Chains A and B, each alone.
Chain A
Amino acid sequence: MKRVAFACALLLISGLALAIEPGKAFEDPQLQARYEKISSEVRCLVCQNQTIKDSNAFLAGDLRREIRRLLEEGKSDAQVYDFLVARYGDFVLYRPRMSGKTLGLWIAPFILILVGGVVAVRVVRGRMQMSVNDDSDQTVS
């Protein structure tokens, strides 16, 4: 019984040893760092909410291989991102670039905050005036 439990425990933790990255690390630690940075910024389109660094879908593996190849060829980070965006579109980057198409995505939060702020200020002011002007306060809501 103990043995079985031990075997189960081993089986459970063995997953930790299975690193997704099959290729060997770059010899140059700087290159390795860039590789890891880029692969954690790129979306795996098959599994959408994972980066290609975390995903073991084969497409993620293919893309990691391409990124590795481009870095080995001496391409800059920007060139690697260009390569990916040209093929898969802005959606492939977790932080899409600012462009005509993605402008809405970037500025919408600020516009919404602005609109919300204006509405909030007006509501609060209205209430303040109401309570000043109208002692009975019955018109509220």
Chain B
Amino acid sequence: MTRYLVPFIALAIMIPVFIIGLNRDPTEVPSPLLDKPAPTFELPSLTDPQATVGSADYEGQMALVNVWATWCGGCRQEHDYLMKLASEIDIPIYGLDWRDRREEALVWLEKLGDPYVASAYDEDGRVGIDWGVYGAPETFLIDENGVVLHKHISPMTEKVWREDFLPRIKDAQEARK
């Protein structure tokens, strides 16, 4: 009797493994930065080449860092939601304009609106590499101590915000109390 059960048991183990495995997105590589201090950076500001934008700007407070570029389709997709989000939350959103052309990026912000408190201009992608960026758009949630609480790859949506970001923000706020 047991010898007939064995294949079924094996199958019962394999099915959930495959269901989980096949539903995973292989293009989403978990970041080794999670729960570690985010890399510090200082870059020229996108809007004002003389000024700098960097991690010091959000030191001591929770912040979102959104990696974007004008050549990135997903960034166009999420832009309207970012605008909405920026008007609704009191967490500042910092932009990291990654490997982009400054003029085009400025036109983009002017046309579509600017959800960012400030955008850093990472022309040669060096800061992007430090942050392990490989596919814009990417959004990092940084806590008061500069630790990466979450990294989201692909466009930000209301659902992603509600399910992946809000709970972590709440947890962090509760832990602080």
- Residue ranges of A at the interface with B (Cβ–Cβ < 8 Å): 45-46, 48, 58-59, 62-63, 66, 85-91
Interface majority SS (helix, strand, loop, mixed), chain B: loop
Bitwise, B111-146 to A at CB < 8 A (1) or not (0) is 000000000000011101111101100000000000
Contact in complex: B29, A59 (CB < 8 Å): no
The CA of A44 and the CA of B82, in the complex, are separated in Å by 29
The reply to whether B134 and A58 form a contact with Cβ atoms under 8 Å apart is: no
Contact: B134 with A88, CB < 8 Å? yes
Asked if residues A45 and B29 are in contact (CB atoms below 8 Å), the reply is: yes
Q: Which residues of B contact A90 (CB under 8 A)?
A: 32
B68 to chain A, nearest CB (A): 15
Quick one: closest A residue to B39, CB to CB? A87
**Cα(A22)–Cα(B99), bound, Å:** 18
| Cβ-neighbour of B132 out of A48, A66, A89 (below 8 A) | A89
B30 contacts the other chain (CB 8 A): yes
> In the complex the two chains form, is A63's CB within 8 Å of B32's CB?
no
For the A-B complex, the count of residue pairs with Cβ-Cβ distances under 8 Å equals: 39
* Selected A-B contacts with CB under 8 Å, 13 pairs: A45-B29, A45-B134, A48-B27, A62-B99, A62-B124, A62-B129, A66-B126, A87-B33, A87-B132, A88-B132, A89-B31, A89-B132, A91-B29
A18 to B135 alpha-carbon distance, docked (Å) = 25
Q: How many B residues have CB within 8 A of the partner chain?
A: 18
Contact B32 A58 (CB under 8 A): no
CB neighbours (8 Å) of B125 from chain A are 58-59, 62
**Chain A residues in 8 Å Cβ range of B32:** 85-90
Rounded to whole angstroms, the CA-CA distance of A59 and B72 in the bound complex is 14
Q: A66–B126 Cα gap in the complex (Å)? A: 8
**Which residues on the A side are within 8 Å of B129 (C-beta)?**
62-63, 66, 87
Question: Cβ of B135 and Cβ of A87 under 8 Å apart?
Answer: no
List 15 additional A-B contacts (Cβ < 8 Å) besides A45-B135, A59-B134: A45-B29, A48-B26, A48-B27, A58-B99, A62-B99, A62-B125, A66-B126, A66-B129, A85-B32, A87-B32, A87-B129, A87-B131, A88-B29, A88-B132, A89-B30
Shortest Cβ distance from residue B40 to the other chain A in the assembled complex, whole angstroms:
14
